[in-house]
C-alpha cells in the first residue's frame, strides 16, 4: 500500500512540475508575441507616415522588409509553441 501511495505522490509531483514549466513557457511566449505585435504596430504606423510624406522608395522598401521579417518571427514563434 505504501508503494502505491508513494508512486501516486511522485506522479502528482511530476505533473505539478510539468504544469509549472508549461505555464512559464506560455508566459514567455505570450510576452514575446505582445512585443512583436507592438513592434508591428509601430512599423505599420511608420510605414503609413513614410508613404504619406513621400519618402524615397528605398526607405519605404526597408520598412516593408522589417515588417515582413517581424511577421516571419511571429510565425516561427507560433510554430515553436506547438
Of 44 and 23, which is predicted with more confidence? 23
- Residue 33, all three cell numbers: 508575441
- Residue 34, all three cell numbers: 505582445
Q: Which residue matches cell numbers 505522490?
A: 9
* Contact call for residues 52 and 63 (beta carbons, < 8 A): no
- Domain tally for the chain? 1
Q: By residue range, what is the domain housing residue 55?
A: 2-81
pTM: 0.54
pLDDT digits (tens, 9 = 90+) for 41-68: 888 888 788 778 877 777 777 878 888 8
Please state the rounded mean pLDDT for residues 13-31: 94
Amino acid at each position: 500500500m505504501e508503494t502505491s501511495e508513494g508512486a501516486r505522490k511522485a506522479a502528482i509531483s511530476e505533473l505539478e512540475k510539468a504544469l509549472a514549466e508549461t505555464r512559464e513557457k506560455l508566459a514567455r511566449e505570450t510576452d514575446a508575441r505582445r512585443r512583436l505585435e507592438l513592434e508591428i504596430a509601430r512599423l505599420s504606423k511608420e510605414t503609413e507616415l513614410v508613404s504619406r510624406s513621400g519618402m524615397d522608395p528605398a526607405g519605404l522598401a526597408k520598412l516593408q522588409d522589417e515588417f515582413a521579417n517581424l511577421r516571419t518571427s511571429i510565425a516561427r514563434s507560433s510554430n515553436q509553441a506547438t
